[in-house]
Structure 1
Amino acid sequence: MVDVTLPKFPELTFEPKKHIYKLNGIYIPSVTTVMRPLSNEFYKDVDEDILNAAADRGRAVHNGIENYVKFEIEDIAPQHRGYFDGFLKWMADFKPIPIETECRVYHKYLRYAGTADMPCVIGKNLICVDFKTSAEINRMLTGVQLEAYSKAYESHGVKFDEKAIVHLKSDGTYSMERYKANDSESWEVFGALLTIWNHQQKYKRR
């Protein structure tokens, strides 16, 4: 068993309605915000109502997972039950040991933040797991997202052995995509996006 305690960050706050992170009271961008040029390109042809419905579903399923892991209760709306059943099947198949759920983290030096769904131990490996309920998974987007979370934790001394996306599906099944621990290409892409975001902010303040 890998003995892991994740650091707590009381200096990092989050306003869920506005999806805003603040570090010691000062706004810092989220991983989602930094990645917006990439995600907007991927989702540009998807109807806004469909995107909003998908976001609502994702929040509901994530809340259900958090309640199950923390309190061992199954609290999920009937229309989302299939996704939750996929999560339960994944739990039964892989027997992960959750360290935390919905873990807010920020990069100590680069000053961006995000929320990792469920860092956990599977076998002897510490894995950064993110759950998705979208119709499909874009491995480029998820690779960049997971690497950003991983590097944020690494700046505080926590190193993941690997990362994974668990794709939950409406029919009660799932698939699991695994990613290597250090993805230099994805990190380079995120770094470029962060440079662009910082450059834009500098000119907005002028």
Structure 2
Amino acid sequence: MVVLLDTAKVLTFDDRRHIYRLKGIELPSVTQVMKPLSDETYRSVEPRVLNRAADKGTAVHNAIENYISFGIEDIDPEFSGYFTAFLRWYREFNVKPIASEYRLYHKFMGYAGTADLICDIGGQLHLVDYKTTQQIEEMLVKVQLKAYEKALDSLGAEPKKTAALHLKRDGTFDFLVLDGGAESWQVFSSLLTVLRYKQKYFWR
């Protein structure tokens, strides 16, 4: 069994302001770094729709976290289908959780984020991100997963697989093993470079 670094001792997260700090030093989040890409992807979607989707995602994530951590099966009936989909996947794939909602950071590149689930499936270390959107934007997800994978690798635990778990309202799911390869890492690294440059010259 993989033993993960206890990042909670050094990495804090301000949920209200969505700010990560490593030993008191603020780090950009994966979400923040990827904002230009996600803004372009969802620019035609109305803000109220995006806010509704975010609320749904939060509710489902919280329910899953409570189940993994405490064995509690509790969720708003409106979102029960997504939770049912998770339970079906969890049992069908005989998932062995290692860490849920794991805060991670890249030791050398200085960014942070939260991985939904790090687990063992069939003897292989998997990094899994839950999605409750109507469809999966693979272009975005590959970059996100690659950023998490590289951060986890820098902390001494290299995942064998990275995947998106697409949970659906009707209780079904798609388990998509995705590897963005060198392209996704190049995209994320470039976005991080641009963010650093903006911080240096515009956000003094």
TM-score by length of 2: 0.97
Question: Where do 1:28-47 residues align within 5 Å?
Answer: 28-47=27-46
Give the Cα–Cα distance (whole angstroms) in 1 for the partners of residues 137 and 86 of structure 2: 20
Please state how far the C-alpha of 1:53 moved relative to its aligned partner: 0.6
Give the Cα–Cα distance (whole angstroms) in 2 for the partners of residues 92 and 14 of structure 1: 31
| 1:150 matched to 2:149 | yes
| 1:186 matched to 2:177 | no
What is aligned with 1:204?
A: 202
| 1:79 matched to 2:71 | no
Deviations 1:89-136 (A, max 9, x none): 101211110001000000001110000000000001100001010111
TM-score by length of 1: 0.96
Give the Cα–Cα distance (whole angstroms) in 2 for the partners of residues 179 and 161 of structure 1: 11
Give the Cα–Cα distance (whole angstroms) in 1 for the partners of residues 109 and 41 of structure 2: 26
What percentage of residue pairs aligned between the two structures are identical? Answer: 50
Letter in 2 for 1:38: L
| 1:26 matched to 2:29 | no
Give the Cα–Cα distance (whole angstroms) in 1 for the partners of residues 183 and 136 of structure 2: 18
What is aligned with 1:135?
A: 134
Structure 1 stretches of 4+ with a deviation exceeding 2 A read none
SS of the equivalent of 1:5 reads: coil
Please state how far the C-alpha of 1:50 moved relative to its aligned partner: 0.5
Please state how far the C-alpha of 1:204 moved relative to its aligned partner: 2.2
What is aligned with 2:124?
A: 125
Letter in 1 for 2:191: L
What is aligned with 1:171?
A: 170
Please state how far the C-alpha of 1:18 moved relative to its aligned partner: 1.2
SS of the equivalent of 2:73 reads: coil
**Unaligned ranges ≥5, structure 2:** none
Letter in 1 for 2:158: K
What is aligned with 2:159?
A: 160
**Unaligned ranges ≥5, structure 1:** none
Please state how far the C-alpha of 1:205 moved relative to its aligned partner: 4.2
Give the Cα–Cα distance (whole angstroms) in 2 for the partners of residues 188 and 174 of structure 1: 30
Please state how far the C-alpha of 1:156 moved relative to its aligned partner: 1.3
Considering only aligned residues, what root-mean-square deviation do their CA atoms show, in Å?
1.0
